[in-house]
Amino acid sequence: MFAIDPAGHIVNSAQAFVDTADPVLGAAPDVAVGGTGPTRVDYAPPTATDNVDPAPVVTCSPASGSTFPVGRTPVSCIATDQAGRASSPATFTVTVDATPPVITPTVTGTLGTNGWYTGNVTVSFAVTDPDTPVTSTTGCGTTTVSADTTGTTFSCTAVSLGGSQTVPVTVKRDATAPVLTCPTSPTYLIGQVGATLAASVADATSGTPAATVSAPVPTAAAGAGAVTLTATDNAGNVATKSCSYLVGYGLGTSGFLSPAPNSKWKAGQTVPIKIQVTGAGGQLISDAEANALVASSNCRLKFSVVGAQTLAPTCMSYDAKGKLFQFNWKLATKGIGDATITVTITYPGTTLVTTRSETITITV
């Protein structure tokens, strides 16, 4: 309003402003803090503007400086100007994070037994936090284990406002089968009861439940044979191996029937060599078996000598009446000293043999 004097000048005036617009609140960003429980949180309220009032009053609930519970709490703010006009509410969230990130490990691979993997293993970690962003991770990448190990540990550490969390994962990998070692030249007597062949078992990584594995050996017939043995290590890897053996005859229960061990014989004499062939219980073999051993077409029981005098392997003969094998060895007139006499039985399909030796002395 204003007044004009007679000369046309304004002599008094007053302005009146009419406020017809509500205040406006700016955007309010969310607020996050760490804590171990309910926590005091101070925050800056959103900024308000008004077309008339230069400083509208902003009020929020819960107010800045309040104690906020763990988790997410919505905050609502309103601006009011001097004319009493109010803004639309502005909302944001205050989060109190009291828990560290959640780490979930994943181990992928072929699982054997006793917690061992029997092939390549992939280790990965998933990191999440429902309340606040994860600010850093260490050791949480994907790793592949491609070599045998008795135990390799991978640790993932993740940090958020709620704290730090570390999760370790230990991987045991054994993709190598155990090693079976057959015994050297195992020999059993024909007719032997309860014969078994045992092989040693070793595994460098997971180990084995037992140091040996065994299998029964059939002993009804003489000759070479083989059994297949199977071993499993603690990881579940399996190995098989064929182990050879010999089922053979015994050469007498007490050695040579003749000559006596360490006996003396004069050069030029005839030394009667006599020996019996037996089974596991000391029983004499049948005439058919005996004759087969000294068959002229394939003699497998021979006598030989080394030492002061020598004799190449020579087939013995079988005396069915006496149930023994014999050979009359005519000594030469030269060659004085000790001589070792040996009876050897060979078997088809193997280099393993049965032998019996003793020493005599040749004198003048």
Domain ranges of the chain: 31-98, 102-173, 179-248, 250-363
**What pLDDT does 292 receive?**
96
**What pLDDT does 10 receive?**
42
**What pLDDT does 255 receive?**
87
| Domain 31-98 matches domain 102-173 at the CATH topology level | yes
**What pLDDT does 285 receive?**
94
**What pLDDT does 206 receive?**
98
**What pLDDT does 252 receive?**
83
Q: 102-173 maps to which CATH number?
A: 2.60.40
Concatenating the DSSP letter of every residue in 92-138 gives EEEEEE-SPPEEEEEEES-B-STT-BSS-EEEEEEEE-SSS-EEEEE
For residue 329, the one-letter residue type is: W
**What pLDDT does 12 receive?**
54
Copy the structure tokens of residue 178: 């155990």
Q: 179-248 maps to which CATH number?
A: 2.60.40.10
Q: Tell me which residue has tokens 């997410």.
A: 72
Q: Tell me which residue has tokens 């280790």.
A: 123
Copy the structure tokens of residue 266: 């004069």
**What pLDDT does 5 receive?**
55
Q: What is the pLDDT along the chain (364 residues), one digit of tens a residue?
A: 444 455 544 455 545 557 889 999 999 999 999 999 999 999 999 999 999 999 999 999 999 999 999 999 999 999 999 999 999 999 999 999 999 999 999 999 999 999 999 999 999 999 999 999 999 999 999 999 999 999 999 999 999 999 999 999 999 999 999 999 999 989 999 999 999 999 999 999 999 999 999 999 999 999 999 999 999 999 999 999 999 999 999 998 788 999 999 999 999 999 999 999 999 989 999 999 999 999 999 999 999 999 999 999 999 999 999 999 999 999 999 999 999 999 999 999 899 999 999 999 999 9
Instruction: Tell me the pairing of strands 163-173 and 149-160.
Output: antiparallel
Q: How many other β-carbons are positioned within 10 Å of the β-carbon of residue 273?
A: 22
**What pLDDT does 253 receive?**
79
307: left (phi over 0), alpha (psi -120 to 50) or beta: left
CA dihedral 6, 10, 14, 15 (to 10 degrees): 120
**pLDDT 10s digits, 303-355:** 999 999 999 999 999 999 999 999 999 999 999 999 999 999 999 989 999 99
Class of domain 250-363: mainly beta
**What pLDDT does 1 receive?**
43
How far apart, in whole angstroms, are the C-alpha atoms of residue 136 and residue 134? 6
For residue 214, the one-letter residue type is: S
Selection from 85, 21, 89, 37 nearest residue 60 by Cα: 89
The single-letter DSSP state of residue 177 is -
Q: 31-98 maps to which CATH number?
A: 2.60.40
